[in-house]
Each structure stands twice: as C-alpha cells, then as structure tokens.
Amino acid sequence: MAFADRSFETTDRQQAPRSGQLIAGAGILLAAVIITLTARQLVPAAAVAPVIVTLLFAGSAVAAGIAFLFRRDRLHGLWLDVAGGMTFVGIVVSVFIEPDQLAGLLAASKPE
C-alpha cells in the first residue's frame, strides 16, 4: 500500500509557502466580490450570474496560463491552486443560474 507509506521525508523547500496559499485564497474571494459588485452596476440583474461565471472561468484560464509559465518555479502550484479555486467558485455560482436567464440573454443578443 504505497499511499500509506510514511517512510519518505519532505523538506521545507519542497512545500509551497502556506502564507502564499492563504493570500491566494483571499485574493480569489476578493476578486469574486469585486466582479460581483461591478457586474451589478454594468449589466441587467438577470445577467449578473452568467457574467460572473464567464469572468471567473476566463480568470481561471489566465491563472492556469500563468502557472504554465512558472513551470519549474515553486509558484507553479500556487497559480494552479488559484485557477482551481476560481473554477470551483465559477461552478458553484453556475448552479444558481436558471435556464430562463440564459434564454433571455440569447434572445436579447440576436440581431433583428
């Protein structure tokens, strides 16, 4: 049972700094709040949730791209955590989107 083997030792150099992970988590939540408050002012109320989800997924893609730039650095794991956190928040917010909201957005965006 390899997963129960505790014979290996890890050094502090191999582990990502804990404070960086906490700062990244706080940054994700702060970005979500800022995006929400800005979207409420710029788009109709029915379109806020889809806009937030789209921006969170786009931000997640950017964070994943940055993680691949730092492939050999210790920041690689931190940026992947940021991308995963933003994706998770985007999926959770997408649960609250009703199909009628999306249908209304698609109908409003068609040129007549």
22 inside domain? yes
30 inside domain? yes
pLDDT at residue 87, rounded to an integer = 92
Place of tokens 């040129």: 111
49 inside domain? yes
pTM as predicted = 0.65
pLDDT tens profile 47-75: 788 888 888 899 899 988 888 887 777 77
pLDDT at residue 91, rounded to an integer = 92
91 inside domain? yes
> How far, in Å, CA of 40 to CA of 100, rounded?
19
9 inside domain? no
67 inside domain? yes
How many domains does the chain contain in total?
1
pLDDT tens profile 89-112: 889 988 888 877 777 666 656 665
Domain that holds residue 93: 17-109
